Chain A
Amino acid sequence: MNIHEYQARELLARAGIAVPPGIVATTAAEAKRAMERLGVPKVVVKAQVHAGGRGKAGGVKLAATPEQAERFASQILGMQIKGLTVTKVLVVPATDIASEAYVGVIVDRVSHSPVFMVSPAGGIDIEEVAAKTPEKIFKATVDARYGLLPHQAMALAFHLYADLAQVRQAADILQKLYRAFADAGCSLAEINPLVVTPKGEVIALDAKMNIDDNELERKPAVEALRDVAAENPMEVQAREANLTYIKLDGNVGCCVNGAGLAMATMDLVKYYGGEPANFLDIGGSSNPEKVVTALKIITADQNVKAILFNIFGGITRCDDVANGIVAATRQFKVDRPLVIRLTGTNEQEALRILEGVGMRALTDMDAAVEQAVKLAKGGAAA
């Protein structure tokens, strides 16, 4: 799960990290009042959206008067950034900056551990630093049983600053960042930039946190940070039904059990000259209602010209899926051709259920995909 910058800043502030004050506004008038309340000569108005590259898209603006803040906010609110609509802006005091650094912690698959990355070259994408000046990135692997040790934090901080007072401040921030990362159940937490002010204070100007979805069940306070309005509505509906759905641009709607098979199915659609309209994984134990929701989501996409089911029954029972398909066709009009491939657990029962309502199913993946691609192109069923 993604959370907004203003939410990540709150979590860092709660962990004791110095974060400048900021006010969230959902209207231009609120943005104006926010600047007046902050009482500073300049503010930055920042789009709050789950997408990178906000600055380049014109979603971050420096304002010198409350009226200007209002005008910028009215431009940014409602703006589309990478397909997502901006509904909130964050108004923060513009900060004088002596230097910018990057600090972040991620779960690293290779070392099976949280890994800290810091760089004195902050303020830009860390991927860019990694590509252009990898020698400016310093790492430390954390043993998650003990957390980031004080000496590790100091060693990292010495890579950022020469001044001992700043090193100590940065080391303190790194340890607090690790605690915030662990407490919220993050897969990534970063401060970019971590800045030194002309007075020598080390403060966090921008923060990003990604939460591991698997943590949300046991962390309701973190789950409460979810901003449903900032997510694709179809993906929200899918998640609420325990499905994983990602919309793509093609016209072959796909409904598959298992993520690997779902991706392989999309690939096979492409192999036979079609384009997948979506990724959809109905997961392991699929009850008929899940299948009904899946069909609703797929048919809501007007690009879809044919719908392909590819089910390899293991835990998933083919008869459950067949019952779901039949139930869906009774609940609403499925007005696009269906190609159904079922094999595995309770396959025979599933075929009987489908035949009972005059539907057919295939058992071979290639044959089914080929047929769905043909139908999506306007051809007749084989």
Chain B
Amino acid sequence: MSIFVDKSTRLVVQGITGRDGSFHTRQMIAYGTPVVAGVTPGKGGQKFEGTVPIFNTVAEAVAATRANTSVIYVPAKFAADAVFEAADAGVKLVVCISEGVPVLDMTRVWPFLKEKGVRLIGPNCPGIISPGAAKVGIIPGNICIPGPVGVVSRSGTLTYEVVYQLTRAGIGQTTCVGIGGDPIIGTNFIDCLAAFEADPATKAVVMIGEIGGTDEQNAAAFVKAKMKKPVVGFIAGQTAPPGRRMGHAGAIISGSSGTAAEKIAAFERAGIAVMKRPADVVALIQGRLKARKPAARKAAKARKPATRKAAKSRKPAKPRTRSR
């Protein structure tokens, strides 16, 4: 199992013939993602690499191929319109990779998507991958393996670093989502945490935040109030000087809200185990997965009636501890 993308994904690539679009479409197909259509205005009727049909509009692509998910690789100045187009065509999940989308464009996109009930991931994000099932975006497939951990992050390469650490230790992932570093993004931490909590295959979640804004603090409150699954967190930018933009439009500390110290404190208050450095993810996740086992068994028992013998041999279920 996974969240947002899986084997039922039918992907249309907006900007499929562009430099980035074509490169990453090849990678997504090689990974086994069901890429059913591409869109490049003026190239309708052609085929991408002789296999994927290209359309002039997303509406045509959806009508012909029943695409349900779109990924956008168009230049930033056209990205907002590409999102509008995908939503208008009835696509329910839009993943926008484009970097440098003007934030005022996003202020117009956001209420439109909300009214349409369309989920947007990004912009300025690496996309989403459910290892072994589907890859939508640019996360390198070879650093991921299937397994029980959900990963959600505001960053790109830092996500790769953490996933790489997990994979090297043999810990796989249900889904890795890069939600993007911009000030206005379609899907935030809480959306992903809620989805991971509801996904039976996900046993623990890694949340990678950074300085700027209050998303991590809100996410921490959500973890405390609504989540039973263990969460491990990291905040990048502990050494960033206040008031300076650190590349991501989102990574700016203004005033007191948004510092790393504040976010780490919020994590700790919510019972989220905080990684001091990316490599800590392995030990913390291993600890949480082990600590969780008794509860997981208990849940399994509740679902299907166990035989009396099995029930007898089981140790009394300990209250599940999220020990810190």
Are A344's CB and B276's CB within 8 A? no
User: A331 to B201, alpha carbons, bound, how many Å?
Assistant: 53
**Which residues in window 227-281 of A have CB below 8 A to B?**
244, 246, 248, 256-264, 266-271, 276, 279, 281
Binary interface profile of B, 192-206, with partner A (CB < 8 Å = 1, else 0)? 000000000000000
User: A213 to B260, alpha carbons, bound, how many Å?
Assistant: 24
Is the CB of B246 closer than 8 A to any CB of chain A?
yes
Are B102's CB and A113's CB within 8 A? no
Binary interface profile of B, 243-262, with partner A (CB < 8 Å = 1, else 0)? 01111111100010000100
Which of chain B's residues have a CB closer than 8 A to the CB of A357?
Answer: none
**CB-CB under 8 A for A314 and B156, given A212-B103, A284-B99:** yes
Are A187's CB and B248's CB within 8 A? no
**Which residues in window 127-157 of A have CB below 8 A to B?**
127, 143-145
Our pick among A185, A266, A316 for the contact of B239 (Cβ within 8 Å) is A266
Identify the stretch in A27-35, A37-45, A72-80, A214-222 within 8 Å (CB) of chain B at 4 or more residues.
A214-222
**Which residues in window 66-118 of B have CB below 8 A to A?**
76-77, 99-104, 106-108, 110-112
Are B239's CB and A269's CB within 8 A? yes
Q: Which residue of B lies closest to A82 (CB)?
A: B243
Is the CB of A13 closer than 8 A to any CB of chain B?
no
Which of chain B's residues have a CB closer than 8 A to the CB of A264?
Answer: 155, 158, 161, 234, 236, 277-278
Our pick among A107, A127, A284, A316 for the contact of B103 (Cβ within 8 Å) is A107
Q: Name, among A185, A258, A270, the residue most crowded by chain B CB atoms within 10 Å (CB to CB).
A: A258
Are A267's CB and B239's CB within 8 A? yes
Which of chain B's residues have a CB closer than 8 A to the CB of A279?
Answer: 240, 244, 246-247
Q: Which residue of A lies closest to B234 (CB)?
A: A264
Are A143's CB and B111's CB within 8 A? yes
Q: Which residue of A lies closest to B252 (CB)?
A: A187
User: A259 to B158, alpha carbons, bound, how many Å?
Assistant: 8
Is the CB of B208 closer than 8 A to any CB of chain A?
yes
Our pick among B76, B139, B158, B276 for the contact of A258 (Cβ within 8 Å) is B158
Are A214's CB and B249's CB within 8 A? yes
Is the CB of A343 closer than 8 A to any CB of chain B?
yes
Which of chain B's residues have a CB closer than 8 A to the CB of A248?
Answer: 239, 241
Binary interface profile of B, 13-51, with partner A (CB < 8 Å = 1, else 0)? 000000010000000000000000000000000000000
Identify the stretch in B54-62, B211-219, B285-293 within 8 Å (CB) of chain A at 4 or more residues.
B211-219
**Which residues in window 217-238 of B have CB below 8 A to A?**
234, 236-238
Are B104's CB and A344's CB within 8 A? no
Our pick among A112, A185, A260, A266 for the contact of B157 (Cβ within 8 Å) is A260
Binary interface profile of A, 31-69, with partner B (CB < 8 Å = 1, else 0)? 000000000000000000000000000000000000000
**CB-CB under 8 A for A212 and B211, given A262-B247, A279-B247, A365-B278:** no
User: A330 to B214, alpha carbons, bound, how many Å?
Assistant: 46
Q: How far is the CB of B154 from chain A (nearest CB, A)?
A: 7
Are B160's CB and A263's CB within 8 A? no
User: A339 to B102, alpha carbons, bound, how many Å?
Assistant: 36
Which of chain A's residues have a CB closer than 8 A to the CB of B246?
Answer: 244, 246, 259, 262-263, 279, 281
Are A312's CB and B160's CB within 8 A? yes
Are A263's CB and B157's CB within 8 A? no
Are A110's CB and B244's CB within 8 A? no
Which of chain A's residues have a CB closer than 8 A to the CB of B241?
Answer: 246, 248
Q: Which residue of B lies closest to A280 (CB)?
A: B247
Is the CB of B283 closer than 8 A to any CB of chain A?
no
Which of chain B's residues have a CB closer than 8 A to the CB of A143?
Answer: 111
**Which residues in window 139-172 of B have CB below 8 A to A?**
139-140, 143, 153-161, 164
Q: Name, among B143, B211, B236, B255, the residue most crowded by chain A CB atoms within 10 Å (CB to CB).
A: B236
**Which residues in window 303-334 of A have CB below 8 A to B?**
312-316
Our pick among A244, A260, A343 for the contact of B159 (Cβ within 8 Å) is A260
Q: How far is the CB of B107 from chain A (nearest CB, A)?
A: 4
Are B277's CB and A312's CB within 8 A? no
Are B103's CB and A258's CB within 8 A? no
**CB-CB under 8 A for A270 and B239, given A127-B255, A261-B155:** yes
Q: Name, among B157, B214, B277, the residue most crowded by chain A CB atoms within 10 Å (CB to CB).
A: B157
Which of chain B's residues have a CB closer than 8 A to the CB of A262?
Answer: 246-247
Are B157's CB and A312's CB within 8 A? yes
**CB-CB under 8 A for A112 and B239, given A107-B107, A312-B164:** no
Which of chain A's residues have a CB closer than 8 A to the CB of B278?
Answer: 264, 268, 365
Which of chain B's residues have a CB closer than 8 A to the CB of A316?
Answer: 157
Is the CB of B272 closer than 8 A to any CB of chain A?
no
Is the CB of A366 closer than 8 A to any CB of chain B?
yes
User: A186 to B260, alpha carbons, bound, how many Å?
Assistant: 26
Are A314's CB and B140's CB within 8 A? yes
Q: How far is the CB of A234 from chain B (nearest CB, A)?
A: 14
Our pick among B156, B211, B247, B277 for the contact of A271 (Cβ within 8 Å) is B277
User: A159 to B103, alpha carbons, bound, how many Å?
Assistant: 28
Are B164's CB and A112's CB within 8 A? no
Are B107's CB and A267's CB within 8 A? no
Is the CB of A84 closer than 8 A to any CB of chain B?
no
Is the CB of A345 closer than 8 A to any CB of chain B?
yes
User: A264 to B247, alpha carbons, bound, how many Å?
Assistant: 13
Which of chain B's residues have a CB closer than 8 A to the CB of A114?
Answer: 104, 107
Is the CB of B64 closer than 8 A to any CB of chain A?
no
Is the CB of B271 closer than 8 A to any CB of chain A?
no
**CB-CB under 8 A for A344 and B160, given A214-B100, A271-B277, A314-B139:** yes
Our pick among A256, A271, A314, A343 for the contact of B126 (Cβ within 8 Å) is A314
**CB-CB under 8 A for A365 and B161, given A143-B111, A262-B246, A267-B236:** yes
Is the CB of B181 closer than 8 A to any CB of chain A?
yes
User: A75 to B254, alpha carbons, bound, how many Å?
Assistant: 31
Is the CB of B210 closer than 8 A to any CB of chain A?
yes
Residue pairs across A and B with Cβ atoms less than 8 A apart, 21 shown, are A107-B104, A109-B213, A110-B214, A143-B111, A214-B76, A215-B102, A258-B156, A259-B246, A259-B251, A261-B160, A261-B161, A263-B239, A263-B240, A264-B277, A314-B126, A314-B138, A345-B140, A365-B278, A365-B279, A366-B277, A366-B279
B interface residues with partner A (beta carbon < 8 Å): 20, 76-77, 99-104, 106-108, 110-112, 126, 138-140, 143, 153-161, 164, 181, 183-184, 208, 210-211, 213-215, 234, 236-241, 244-251, 255, 260, 276-279
Q: Nearest 7 CB-CB pairs, A to B? A: A260-B155, A259-B247, A258-B157, A260-B158, A144-B107, A263-B236, A112-B110
